[in-house]
Amino acid sequence: MSAAGSISHRAANLGRGRDSTDVAARPLLHLVNVVWGGEYTRLYLDVSLPSQLAPGNLPALERSADGVYRIFTTAEDATIIRPSPAYRRLQSITPTEIVTVEIPARTDPYETLTRLQMQALREAAAVGAYALLLAPDIVIADGGIDRLARLAAEGKKAVMVLSVRVAKESFAPELRRRLSQGPDAAVKISSADLVELAIKHFHPTSRALVWPPTTSWPSHLYWPVEDAGFIAAGFHLHPILVAPAKTDGLLGSTIDGDFVARNFSADEVHVVDDSTELTVFEMSSAAQAVGRPVAPLSASAVGRWAACNADEGHMRLFERSVTFRTGKPSSAWQAAHDSTAQISIEIRRYRSRFGWWGRTVNVLRPVVRLAKRCRRWPGRLVAKWISKSATEAAA
């Protein structure tokens, strides 16, 4: 039986034992995780998957959705995943499937991730299932997956989340201390506690995104609010849940590009704008920087960067700021929101002013791909110049 046929057969059997009304009200989910390499596999099994095993996450699907958990990984990493306590617990909760794939040693990880996510999206669409796109380096607060299933049941076609980076070297060990010693192999942590913990272990890149940003890649911006939390605004949010959709044209970009805008209308997309609804953080090595250090950027500089790297859909997401709360009271929230709104207005104005620059750079981007393939030094110099103009326009 083909992979798609096997999935279809399994999906058809998930609803047995319930009456037709109950089945119709329960969305079908493909929970998708792409993981390979020893470092990411260990992080997935030790921290990420245990957070998904919290009572309000995967176990809650029994009352809110039908689904299958699909892990795309190499044959070598599958031998590590299968005997682990967290995976055995996962198998006891929901149908699981390990899809083994070939991943060449020399491969662009983002292109590989996109290719496998496309495959997962196509196979979910073939059986009318939503795709819940997880990752081996994320942590989800208790209740998050149940909330996603309920949003699917309400008819939302996509759910967008802003995921902030934390330093895994210090964050992961502290979170693992919360690991249950019982058979559930779960890490249970509330959204407020997760936000407070994340602030203590902000990734250096996240610290560089605190306004005014000191990085050449200001895709997110953060405004601290005393010890009560922070406000975030992001041009590029992650579609963590998507309904069956076309994947044509996705290759060559990541799924947080224009994929959602091409497939769904604005009223079909739910943007999580408060951590009390759903909280996700991304664990990265402290040495893994995004962008390069620069002097503090102005709204003009960020607007110039946005002219090259953010379309109108990204701008609308940026203007939907997200509140991350520790649960501690503060009288500074309103002032922080006002400041965020004013800076967003200035960035949009400067983005419009530098529109000509962004259009020029985007026209030249195909030249980059061709020039990078050129082995002669003139082609490489052209590629380097255009890439720097596009990706570091803020500097």
Q: Please give the domain boundaries of the chain with CATH numbers for all domains.
A: 3-205+233-289 (3.90.550), 357-391 (no CATH)
pLDDT at 167 over 80: yes
Residue 183 has a pLDDT of 75
pLDDT at 378 over 70: no
- Quote the Cα angle for 270-49-251, to 5°: 55
pLDDT at 395 over 60: no
- 3-class secondary structure, 134: coil
pLDDT at 7 over 70: no
Establish whether the linkage from the previous residue to 204 is cis, with ω within 30° of 0: no
pLDDT at 389 over 70: no
> pLDDT tens, 78-105?
999 999 999 999 999 999 999 999 988 8
Dihedral sign of CA atoms 336, 337, 339, 343 in order? positive
Nearest to 218 by CA among 330, 317, 298, 98: 298
Nearest to 306 by CA among 296, 293, 295, 319: 319
pLDDT band at 377 (very low <50, low <70, confident <90, very high): low
Average pLDDT of 285-294? 93
Of the CA atoms within 13 Å of residue 306, those in its CB half-sphere come to: 33
Residue 114 has a pLDDT of 86
pLDDT at 222 over 90: yes
Residue indicated by tokens 């408060």: 274
> pLDDT tens, 302-320?
999 999 899 998 999 999 9
- Quote the Cα angle for 27-32-37, to 5°: 170
Nearest to 102 by CA among 69, 73, 134, 70: 73
**Stated pTM of the model:** 0.87
Residue 295 has a pLDDT of 96
